[in-house]
Amino acid sequence: MKVNLVVTVLDFFLICSRFVSSKGDFQILIWYICADASTESVRDKAVKSPSSSPLVENGKQHEPSHHGNGNDTSVEGLLPKLPQADYFMEPSLEELAAKERGEPGYCGRVEDFVVGRHGYGSIKFLGETDVRGLDLESIVEFNYREVIVYKDDSKKPPVGEGLNKAAEVTLLNIKCMNKKTGDEYRDGPRVDRYRQMLMKKAEEQGAEFVSFDVAKGEWKFRVEHFSAYGLW
């Protein structure tokens, strides 16, 4: 049977005065008090230990977290790579990461994914596209009035896989110019003939003409798969 002995300083001296005539009893009393104090000290440490007590934040208790950043590491490995500063993608890299965390598997089914280069043009890949781990820098190349996807044919996947799929291409800097004077035409028969020429160019390259915005210098066409397309 366990007995807890709790005494004040005054009680201690009073008890000692009663047992001072018996040395053995006095030693037993001291041992009892020390043992009880030691037990209380161990109990207090266990209660106050931060590893066993919940965290308190903004007045609310939270269990200690033992999770690492493994999820962030796995998400980063799924994202496409596009390090060039003048290139861009839609959704952006940050948006893709956020979507993947909220909807695991999102990077395998990105709707109407866009890759572009500022001042040159863009490609919108129609429907769902698997962008997981794609090295876009080595796949997509924009030049003046030209775009190339999978420049190395030996690395081009079958039609419908990767980025070798149906897309809408927009090329910039497509302007109806007078080569001798440098004048730019915005309307009239010259522009009409220029539009007809773009329609023919698209057809020759196996593409479908969509539009020509003379004010923006923007030519749009659709392709079923990829090679090199442009106005040469």
Structure tokens at 229: 């397309």
Q: In whole angstroms, give the CA distance from residue 70 to residue 228.
A: 40
**pLDDT, tens digit, 9 for 90 and up, residues 175-209:** 999 988 989 999 999 999 999 999 999 999 999 99
| Residue type (1 letter), 22 | S
pLDDT score for 42: 40
- Residue 108: is its pLDDT beyond 70? yes
Q: In whole angstroms, give the CA distance from residue 63 to residue 76.
A: 28
DSSP labels for 55-72?
A: EEETTEEEPPP---SHHH
What's the CATH code, domain 71-230? 3.30.1610.10
Give catalytic residue positions: 227
With both helix axes pointing from N to C terminus, report the angle between 93-102 and 70-78 in degrees, rounded to the nearest 10.
130
3-state SS assignment for residue 53: coil
> In this structure, are residues 145 and 119 in contact, taking their beta carbons and an 8 Å threshold?
no
pLDDT score for 22: 45
Give the percent of the chain with pLDDT over 90: 61
**pLDDT, tens digit, 9 for 90 and up, residues 1-57:** 444 444 444 454 444 445 444 444 444 344 444 444 444 444 444 444 444 344 333
pLDDT score for 179: 87
> In this structure, are residues 163 and 129 in contact, taking their beta carbons and an 8 Å threshold?
yes
Phi/psi at 148 (5° precision): -130, 130
Q: How confident is the model at residue 114 (pLDDT cuts 50, 70, 90)?
A: very high
Question: Strands across the sheet with 167-171, in order?
Answer: 87-90, 110-117, 121-129, 167-171, 218-223, 208-213
Calculate the CA dihedral of residues 47, 50, 53, 57 and round it to 10 degrees. Answer: 130
Phi/psi at 129 (5° precision): -130, 135
pTM of the model: 0.68
Looking at residues 149-172, what average pLDDT do you find? 95
Looking at residues 143-154, what average pLDDT do you find? 94
Between 45-49, 151-155, 162-166, 196-200, the lowest mean confidence (pLDDT) is in: 45-49
Alpha helix segments (H runs only) across the chain: 9-19, 23-48, 70-78, 93-102, 136-139, 189-204
pLDDT score for 104: 95
**CATH 3.30.1610.10 domain range(s) in the chain:** 71-230
How long a stretch of residues is the chain? 232
**pLDDT, tens digit, 9 for 90 and up, residues 44-90:** 444 444 443 443 333 444 443 344 455 666 898 999 999 999 999 99
Per DSSP, which regions of 74-205 are E strands? 87-90, 110-117, 121-129, 140-143, 146-149, 167-171
- Residue 221: is its pLDDT beyond 50? yes
Q: How confident is the model at residue 232 (pLDDT cuts 50, 70, 90)?
A: low
Q: In whole angstroms, give the CA distance from residue 118 to residue 97.
A: 22
Q: Please list the residues that pair with 153 across neighbouring strands.
A: none
Nearest to 29 by CA among 43, 44, 42, 12: 12
pLDDT score for 11: 53
pLDDT score for 71: 62
pLDDT score for 228: 82
| Residue type (1 letter), 86 | D
